[in-house]
Chain A
Amino acid sequence: METARTLCLWCPDWPVVAARRRGDAPDDAPIAVLERSRVFACSAEARAQDVVIGMRRREAETLSPGITVLEVDPSGDTRMFEPVARAVEDLAPRLTLERPGMLSFPTRGPSRYFGGDEKLVERIIEVACVAGVPDARAGIADGIFAARLAARRGVIVAPGETSQFLAPWPVGTLGDEELGSLLCRLGLRTLGEFAALPAPSVLARFGSHGLGMHRLSRGEDEHPPSLTVPPPDLVETCELDPPAERVDEAAFAAKVLADRLLGRLEAMGLACTHVVVEAETEHGEHLARGWRHEGALTAAMLAERVRWQLDGWLTDGLRDRATARGGLTGGLTLLRLVPEQVIPATGRQLGFWGGDAAGADRCARVLARVQGIIGPENVVTAVPQGGRTPGERVRWVPWGEPREPLRPIEAVAGPVHSEVPSWPGAVPGPPPARVFDPPVPATLLDATGAEVSVSGRGEVSAPPVLLRSGVLVRGGGEITGWAGPWAHDVRWWDRRTRSRCTYWQVAVGETACLVKVKQGQAAIEAIYD
């Protein structure tokens, strides 16, 4: 079985385009969309000012002072992309979303129907243009990886010439930074040079992942096709009664479904790279959309994609029932996940000291149940991260989402040089056991009864003598010890988000607390309980 001819449609800078459509960002100004404080996508205006993807937020703001900075919103991007996907689906039903802004489908049927690859590409671009994306690009090649690169150039690669087409591209296009930089250091700068290595040697040196990358660079599918036919009984279905009209209701069911599907696949030693999300509504409509990921999908990633898709269907359709075209007119009654492509799981190494796998499973089930009772965002685990105050130094991550800090504690390897962040003014000493968010109002008074203030140069008006607040025993009282102040001048380079405040460690009797003074207003941020 040879690699399937694939068409890839790419809408450049989709997160930026979607943000402009939503009205979140100005039309002709530089925009950067961030993911975890790094530039994820940027507009042409920003690119003209040397902003590149992977840059830190601070660097982008330095290069382009007036830049509008937004957080990435994949579910919103999917929602905006849905009309395009629907329009293309009319021509090519076996469509798969790679990510919001990029879709692909096998061209065999459509190409024959429309009279050749050129005509098909013209037709697809026209359809995308009508759906509101004038600058979409499409390309056809053998296999999705080559098709994606062809779409970047907007070319059609003749059948069998994919490996020649791929040869001059740099190895960085494989999307694996670690392997890419290693290959560069070994003197293999292009895909052609990498592809020229014998496969057994690649497997011996770089393992099965490296072999997959090698297959890509030769213009083949990453995984051998003979292994990718899913067993027929892996479809997971769940009926929703009452019908789900809100995204979070349906998404919660989807999460359970995703867990179940991946659990069963895992038991068979399989992982899933391509899944079709199907839904039925109370009016009998049937929708299906495929999602693909280069690596294997994890339960959280799968649930995330299902959520984006449901967001696209539900929000679009239900907002305007009369004019909804291809969207949903009623609540969802059935949700189905069909694995389209499965690969042998490379396996997961269990912790050396064992660990009670059954106990962890039981725990995961119970936490999911609690999420069902009080909402998914209220079951959290803590991730330590960089920051100055006790509140900043912890990120609470909802259960089931990836546990990653927003601000690194240590330097991370990235495409752009990164420095170890330092947190000047971080409050030392033992971490407090009670952290209030938002802080509890308090008054910090000096001996004359005036509120203690700190000047712009960090000078204290008078030593504090009295602290009063509702959270303290008997409403507070005379201060028996204090330390500080630690002055914070946060984001001093940005007038809008700049914040200046001071922190004090204050003991009233046997109660020690962390007091924040901002613009003359004292508040208790934490208690050392």
Chain B
Amino acid sequence: MASSSPTDPVPGGAVIPLRDPEARARLYEVARVGAPLLLAKDRLLPVPGPLGALVPELRRGMVVTVTGAPGGGATTLAFGLVAAASVAGEWAGALCPDHTLGALAAAAAGVDLTRFAVVRDVPLDRWAVVAAALLDAITVVLVEVPRGVRAADARRLVSRARERGAVLVTLGEWPAAAALRIHAEGGEWNGFRMGDGILTSRNLSVRVEGSGAPLHGLVSLAS
């Protein structure tokens, strides 16, 4: 412990005065063991694309629900959240009992299709087991919530996500707690009228309910 300065920074960030070397060594050891393994910034996954303006990042272990009427843009928003895993270079997965997710739309939202596994045709009685298994290893798991999911199962998935540090994104009515609730409120499509033009873009109106006041915003989705 030959140090020229009277004080030395400890890994925790505090500064302690120079006393006897033995005590310092013990203190360093305690500080090393006690230091958090994961820094807070490592627990965040930045959300890419236009949705990032409203939801800058996802925290590992959180549950996000996305709701909206059919055609209201909920699926596209959910893909935007899943893309956070691809940006971090990690795996994403989806549990889609009726297998209707459009892979090209996912790719357009920024999801890396080589690291995006989709589990389809899941019977209702296996749904919770499969979702829990996916949360074990996959960073962002998108689940479509079928009708008739028990609240107890949902709560178990919430705690599984927290324990494993995975993000659970649910699509549909979610009967348990969630850190973030995103609601797609629809929006007009641009680019065509009665019989001419093609579908080009949409300004999607989005409401985000988190810990603070609800946030409203427009997310523009272009082709």
Contacts and interface: CB of A to CB of B under 8 A. Distances in A.
The number of chain B residues touching the other chain, given as a range, is 35 or more
A369 B189 contact: no
Interface string A374-390: 11001111111000001
B102 A473 contact: no
A21 B68 CA distance: 55
B134 A434 contact: no
Given A381-B118, A433-B102, A528-B189, A473 B69 contact: yes
Interface string B112-141: 011011111111001001100110111100
Given A356-B89, A356-B90, A527-B70, A379 B119 contact: yes
Interface stretch (A219-227, A249-257, A359-367): A359-367
B46 interface: no
Given A366-B137, A429-B191, A482-B194, A510 B72 contact: yes
Interface string A69-111: 0000000000000000000000000000000000000000000
B192 A463 contact: no
Interface stretch (A119-127, A173-181, A342-350, A393-401): A393-401
A528 B100 contact: no
B104 A529 contact: no
A430 interface: yes
Contact of A483 (B138, B187, B196): B196
A510 B137 contact: no
B103 A394 contact: yes
B103 A481 contact: no
Nearest to A460: B195
Contacts of A430: 105, 108, 199-201, 221-223
B73 to A, nearest CB: 6
B75 interface: yes
A426 B35 CA distance: 56
Contacts of A33: none
Contact of A511 (B72, B192, B222): B72
B122 A374 contact: yes
A378 B120 contact: yes
A105 to B, nearest CB: 41
B195 A482 contact: yes
A370 B134 contact: yes
Contacts of B186: 510-511
A431 B187 CA distance: 17
A141 interface: no
A528 B71 CA distance: 6
A431 B194 contact: no
B198 interface: yes
A390 B119 contact: no
A361 to B, nearest CB: 9
Contact of B223 (A362, A429, A481, A513): A429
13 contacts: A362-B137, A394-B104, A399-B117, A429-B191, A430-B199, A430-B200, A430-B222, A431-B108, A435-B102, A482-B194, A483-B191, A507-B199, A510-B187
Interface of A: 353-356, 359-360, 362-363, 365-367, 369-370, 373-375, 378-384, 390, 393-394, 396, 399, 403, 428-437, 463, 471-473, 479, 481-483, 505, 507, 510-513, 526-529
